[in-house]
Amino acid sequence: MSFVHPRSVEHVYKIIDILETKVSKTEIKEYINHHLLDSHDFGLFSYTTDEGEHKYIGAPLPVILWDNGLQVFYSSKLHHGEHVAEHNGNYYMLHHSKIYKTDAEGTINYDAEHHPTNVKPLDFSITKNVVFILLVAILMFFLFTRMAKSYKGNLMPKGMGRLLEPIVLYVRDEIAVPNIGEKHYKRYMSYLLTVFFFVWIVNLFGLTPIGMNLTNNIAVTFCLAIITYLITTFSGNKNYWKHIFWMPGVPVPMKIILAPIELLGTFIKPFALMIRLYANITAGHIVLMSIIGMMFVFNNWLGSSLSFLLAFVLGILELLVAALQAYIFTVLSALYFGMAVEEHHHDEAH
Amino acid sequence: MEIPAIVGAGLVVIGAGIGIGRIGGSAMDAIARQPEATGKIQTAMLIAAALIEGIGFAALFAV
C-alpha cells in the first residue's frame, strides 16, 4: 500500500510485539492485585517506556505517619516503591502498598514466610480511598441538600428530585416500614438512606475506569458494619436483650445453651454484612478484570472478541450486583434494627 | 492423608449453590402460583439467598 509510510507499519508491528511479549499471565495477576489494593498516590494509569522505565500518570497525595512524632510528606517522595524515601533523617520504603521503615539503602528483611520484618509506622495517610470517600461524601451532600431545597414552597419534585424521590420512597416504604415497623422507622431513616446511597454510588463508581474501589476494601465495609452493629446494640430494648440472654418459652437448660449462641449471633450478623459486601464486590472485580486480561492472553481475533463480549455481559451483571448489594445491606440493617426495637405483642409461648 | 482446606471450601460452595438454587426454584414456583405477590416473593428470596451467600463467602475466606 502506497499511502502508508513504511515506518508507520514498522511502528504497528512494534506495538504488536510489545503486546505479545509484555502482557503475560503473571503481569495480569499483578495488575489485578494492584487494582484491589489501596494506594498512596492518586494514579490514573501507568505504562512502561521502550527503555523499560515505568511512567505513572496521576497526582501525589499526602503521607501522614506517626513515627516518633508526626511525619508528613508527599507520596511522590516514595517513587511508587522504586526508591527509598528520606524524611527528617528517617528512611521509608513502599512495599505492596504498605510503608516500612528501612535503612538508607531501603533493604526490606523477610521472615521464613516471606513477610517483611521491618517496622511499620502508624499510617494515617490520605490515601486514594480516603480521597474517594470524601469526594462521594461531598457529592452526596450537594445532591441531597439541593433535592431538599427543591421541595421548598411546592411539593412537586424538580430536577434531581425526580430521579431520587422514587428511590427514597422505596427505601422508606419497602425497606424501613415493613422491617422496623410504623412506630420506630423514622429514627433509622437517615442511616438507612445514607448507607443505601453511599454503597450504591460507591459500587457504581467502582465500575468506572477511574480506579475507585472502596467497597472491595474490607476496612470500608468493616466501618459500615460497625455502625450497623452500634445502632442495633444501643437501640436494643428490654425485649431484645431478654431474647438474647434468657430466651422465653424454652426449658431452663436450653436457655443456658442458647445464651452464648445468641450473644455470638449479635457479632456474626454485622460480620456477615461486612464479608458479604466486600466479597461480592471483590469477586466481581477479579472475575471482570481476569476476563479483560484474557483478551491479551488469547491475542487472536476469535478469543479476544469472545472475551470482550463476556466482559461486556459481566459488566452489565455487575451493574445489577452494585444495586443489589446496596439493597441487601440496607434491608439486613433494617431487619436488625427491627429486631432490636420489636415490642412484645405476642404471648410468651413461641 | 491430609485433606486440603480448599476441598472443604469446595464442599461448602456446593452446599451454598444447592441452597440458593432451591430458593430460586421455589420462588419461581411461588411466582407462577401467585403472580400478584411477585414483589414480596422476590424480596424474601433475595434476603434468604444473601444469607446463604454469606456462608459461602465465609468458607472461601477461611481457606
In angstroms, the separation between the Cα of residue B9 and the nearest Cα of chain A is 15
How many percent of chain A have pLDDT more than 70? 91
CATH code for the domain of B30? 1.20.20.10
Domain boundary assignment for chain A: 1-37, 39-126, 129-341
Amino acid at B12: V
Is 90 exceeded by the pLDDT of residue A229?
yes
User: A261-268 contacts: CB < 8 A, separation 24 or more?
Assistant: A266/A229, A266/A232, A266/A233, A267/A229
Q: What is the mean pLDDT of chain A?
A: 83
Q: Is A218 on the interface with B (CB under 8 A)?
A: no
The pLDDT value recorded for residue A140 is: 93
Torsion of CA B13, B14, B18, B20, to 10 degrees: 20
CA-nearest residue of chain B to A335?
Answer: B47
Model's pTM, two decimal places?
A: 0.82
What is the tens place of the pLDDT at every residue in A295-308? 888 878 888 899 99
Which domain range does residue B41 map to?
5-62
In angstroms, the separation between the Cα of residue A45 and the nearest Cα of chain B is 30
Q: What is the mean pLDDT of chain B?
A: 87
Average pLDDT estimate for A83-101: 78
C-alpha cell at A139: 457529592
Q: Is A332 on the interface with B (CB under 8 A)?
A: yes
CA-nearest residue of chain A to B50?
Answer: A328
One DSSP character per residue, A255-312 reads HHHHHHHHHHHHHHHHHHHHHHHHHHHHHHHHHHHHHHHHHHHH-SHHHHHHHHHHHH
Cα A319 to Cα A188: distance, rounded to the nearest angstrom? 27
Q: Is A287 on the interface with B (CB under 8 A)?
A: no
C-alpha cell at B54: 454469606
Q: Is B17 on the interface with A (CB under 8 A)?
A: no
Tell me: ipTM over 0.85: no
Q: Is B58 on the interface with A (CB under 8 A)?
A: yes
Report DSSP state, residue A175: I
C-alpha distance from residue B50 to each of A75, A213, A279, B26 (Å): 40, 21, 12, 16
Which residues contact residue A343 at a Cβ distance below 8 angstroms, ignoring those fewer than 6 apart? A183, A237, A239
The pLDDT value recorded for residue A12 is: 58
In angstroms, the separation between the Cα of residue A337 and the nearest Cα of chain B is 15
Torsion of CA B17, B23, B25, B29, to 10 degrees: 180
Average pLDDT estimate for A119-130: 84
Cα A246 to Cα A261: distance, rounded to the nearest angstrom? 12
The pLDDT value recorded for residue A4 is: 46
Cα B11 from chain centre: 13
Most confident of A82-86, A146-150, A153-157, A188-192: A188-192
**Domain count along chain B:** 1
Is 80 exceeded by the pLDDT of residue A8?
no
Phi, psi of A181 (to 5 degrees): 110, 150
Q: Is A328 on the interface with B (CB under 8 A)?
A: yes
First to last CA, chain A: 85
What is the tens place of the pLDDT at every residue in B18-38? 999 999 999 999 999 999 999
Cα A269 to Cα A288: distance, rounded to the nearest angstrom? 29
Instruction: Put residue A88 in one of left, alpha, beta given phi > 0 → left and psi -120 to 50 → alpha.
Output: left
**Pair A87, A80: CB distance under 8 Å:** no
First to last CA, chain B: 18
Of A208, A202, A211, A201, the C-alpha closest to A34 is A211
- Find chain A residues with C-beta within 8 A of B61's C-beta: 275, 279
* A331 vs B47, B54, B58: nearest CB: B47
Q: Which of B20, B23, B42, B43 to mutate to test the interface with A (most CBs of A within 10 A)?
A: B43
The pLDDT value recorded for residue A232 is: 94
pLDDT bucket at A56, cuts 50 / 70 / 90? confident
Cα A15 to Cα A32: distance, rounded to the nearest angstrom? 22
* A328 vs B46, B60, B61: nearest CB: B46
**Pair A34, A80: CB distance under 8 Å:** no
Q: Is B46 on the interface with A (CB under 8 A)?
A: yes
Most confident of A113-117, A184-188, A249-253, A286-290: A184-188
Q: Which of B23, B47, B55, B60 to mutate to test the interface with A (most CBs of A within 10 A)?
A: B47
Instruction: Identify any residues that bridge with B16 across adjacent strands, giving them in sequence order.
Output: none
**Strand (E) positions, chain A?**
41-48, 54-60, 62-66, 70-74, 85-87, 90-95, 98-102, 122-123
Average pLDDT estimate for A158-169: 86
User: Does the distance separating the beta carbons of B58 and A275 come in below 8 Å?
Assistant: yes
Q: Which residue has the higher pLDDT, B3 or A233?
A: A233
The pLDDT value recorded for residue A1 is: 40
Q: Is B53 on the interface with A (CB under 8 A)?
A: yes
- Find chain B residues with C-beta within 8 A of A328's C-beta: 46-47, 50
* A279 vs B46, B47, B57: nearest CB: B57
C-alpha distance from residue A217 to each of A37, A43, B61 (Å): 7, 17, 14
